[in-house]
């Protein structure tokens, strides 16, 4: 049952995209001082940079969506060399990408998901910050583009690295350390559309903005690894992939729903491949695989890159609110994603015409509660029949 105390909470109040009162006070005071010394320009940039650094230090789904800027930058600046700054956990997103000359990692302590003491997270932050600033300085970028609109962003690091032109959002704080900035506009637009808006500040990019879309590159070596695995396991072409993992415990779908959905798919004659990692997800997959010996359970057996290729070779992906849907979209694979109502789905859904998201309607959605609520009816209430109906619609389209 929905908690009567839960109310819709706006994700943005004023300039910032965070609500913590103490943090807003500290960041607001810092920005007031910084912007007294230097106010970033909202004017367009008519430049031809030789070296460009793209930044998004959040997690895997954010990094995949951030790759949408690469086709635009490559078309606008064909001679430029492009670097990318990401969280260490997202480094695999950049692997083998032909448009990326340099990859940098920075682990901000607030975004560190490792289960360790705060002092260890702070130590990793310090070491990775020093290494990133050193390496970025050595390359000598002309322009930095920070795509992440939340706190913590990469702006202080870019300033410390001495990049002369720094373009980004004011909504995560430290906007006074940018040379050119925009305020984030709250609305239903997808985050890729926001990336386009920021790119539009570079006049050379404007005619190429329709090219923006996420892309993951797959080497021939990776493709061969999948072909060999599929042949060894007897996995047929045209299978449906289930990825049972979610980007948070509150976003999990009931185990029984997964089994019911698998049974419906088997009745239709569909082949199933199960994906996931970690003990909980492997347990869910084992329970699903127990329905039939024809189900191929690959959970816990693939590295991240090989898992992306498994999704790329599927006829359709069924997943939760996680990076799996973004992987499918970046590899042009249709997907049905079961989302929670904690965020505005139109902003964060997988970016592809054949990507469908399902959210059980509840009056408190979107609540913008980072950890959800005890009931989570917005995701728990999505039935296996509703998901199967969407699968059929996508397959028959």
Same fold, 21-211 and 220-396: yes
Nearest one of 250, 257, 235 to 309, comparing CA atoms? 235
CATH topology of domain 21-211: Rossmann fold (3.40.50)
In the chain, pLDDT over 90 holds for what percent of residues? 81
In tens, the pLDDT along 6-37 reads 444 555 556 888 878 888 899 889 989 988 88
CA–CA gap between residue 267 and residue 253 (Å, rounded): 21
Tell me which of 159 and 34 has the higher pLDDT.
159
Q: Side by side, which strands form the sheet with 51-56? A: 102-105, 81-86, 51-56, 143-146, 165-169, 180-182
pLDDT for residue 1: 40
CA–CA gap between residue 284 and residue 217 (Å, rounded): 29
pLDDT at 175 over 90: yes
Tokens representing 312? 């790329």
pLDDT for residue 8: 47
Q: Are 166 and 180 in contact (CB under 8 A)?
A: yes
Tokens representing 50? 């030789």
pLDDT for residue 113: 79
Q: Sign (positive/negative) of CA torsion 59, 97, 336, 270?
A: negative
Secondary element (H or E) of residue 274: strand 272-275
Residue whose entry in the numeric block shows the structure tokens 């892309």: 215
Count CB-CB contacts under 10 A for residue 336: 27
Tell me what the pLDDT averaged over the chain comes to: 93
Tokens representing 103? 């990859």
Burial zone of 269 (CB within 10 Å; 0-12 exposed, 13-18 middle, 19+ buried): exposed
Contacts of 74 (CB under 8 A, 6+ apart): 82, 99
pLDDT for residue 110: 86
pLDDT at 114 over 90: no
Q: Side by side, which strands form the sheet with 316-320? A: 296-297, 272-275, 240-243, 316-320, 335-338, 355-358
In tens, the pLDDT along 182-193 reads 999 888 899 999
CATH superfamily placement of domain 220-396: Glycogen Phosphorylase B; (3.40.50.2000)
Nearest one of 299, 280, 303, 279 to 289, comparing CA atoms? 299
Nearest one of 197, 144, 148 to 172, comparing CA atoms? 148
Q: What is the average per-residue pLDDT within 43-47?
A: 95
pLDDT for residue 4: 39
Q: Are 382 and 26 in contact (CB under 8 A)?
A: no
pLDDT at 306 over 50: yes
pLDDT for residue 305: 95
Q: Is 52 helix (H, G, I), strand (E, B) or coil?
A: strand
Domain spans of the chain, in order of start: 21-211, 220-396
CA–CA gap between residue 3 and residue 267 (Å, rounded): 38
């Amino acid at each position: 049952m929905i908690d009567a105390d839960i109310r819709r909470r706006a994700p943005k109040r004023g300039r910032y995209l965070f609500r913590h009162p103490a943090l807003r006070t500290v960041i607001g005071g810092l920005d007031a001082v910084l912007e007294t010394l230097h106010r970033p320009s909202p004017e367009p940039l008519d430049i031809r940079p030789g070296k460009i650094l793209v930044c998004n230090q959040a997690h895997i789904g954010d990094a995949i969506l951030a790759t949408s800027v690469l086709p635009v930058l490559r078309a606008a600046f064909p001679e430029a060399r492009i670097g990318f700054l990401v969280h260490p956990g997202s480094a695999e997103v950049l692997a083998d990408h032909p448009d990326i000359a340099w990859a940098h990692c920075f682990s901000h302590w607030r975004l560190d998901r490792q289960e360790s003491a705060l002092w260890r997270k702070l130590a990793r932050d310090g070491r990775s910050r020093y290494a990133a600033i050193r390496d970025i300085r050595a390359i000598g970028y002309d322009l930095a583009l920070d795509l992440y609109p939340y706190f913590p962003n990469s702006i202080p690091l870019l300033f410390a690295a001495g990049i002369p032109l720094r373009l980004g959002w004011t909504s995560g704080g430290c906007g006074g350390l940018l040379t050119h900035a925009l305020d984030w506009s709250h609305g239903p637009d997808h985050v890729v559309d926001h990336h386009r808006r920021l790119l539009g500040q570079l006049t050379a990019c404007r005619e190429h903005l329709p090219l923006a879309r996420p892309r993951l590159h797959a080497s021939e070596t990776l493709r061969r690894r999948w072909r060999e695995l599929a042949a060894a396991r007897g996995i047929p072409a045209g299978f449906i992939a289930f990825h049972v993992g979610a980007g948070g415990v509150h976003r999990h779908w009931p185990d029984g729903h997964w089994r019911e959905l698998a049974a419906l798919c088997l009745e239709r004659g569909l082949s199933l491949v199960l994906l996931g990692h970690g003990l909980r997800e492997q347990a869910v997959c084992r329970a699903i695989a127990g329905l039939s010996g024809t189900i191929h359970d690959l959970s816990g057996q693939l590295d991240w890159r090989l898992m992306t290729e498994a999704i790329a070779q599927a006829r359709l992906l069924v997943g939760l609110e996680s990076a799996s849907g973004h992987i499918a979209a970046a590899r042009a694979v249709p997907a049905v994603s079961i989302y929670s109502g904690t965020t505005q789905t139109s902003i964060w859904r997988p970016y592809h015409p054949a990507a469908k998201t399902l959210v059980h309607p509840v009056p408190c959605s979107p609540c913008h509660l980072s950890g959800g609520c005890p009931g989570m009816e917005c995701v728990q209430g999505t039935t296996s029949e509703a998901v199967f109906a969407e699968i059929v619609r996508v397959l028959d389209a």
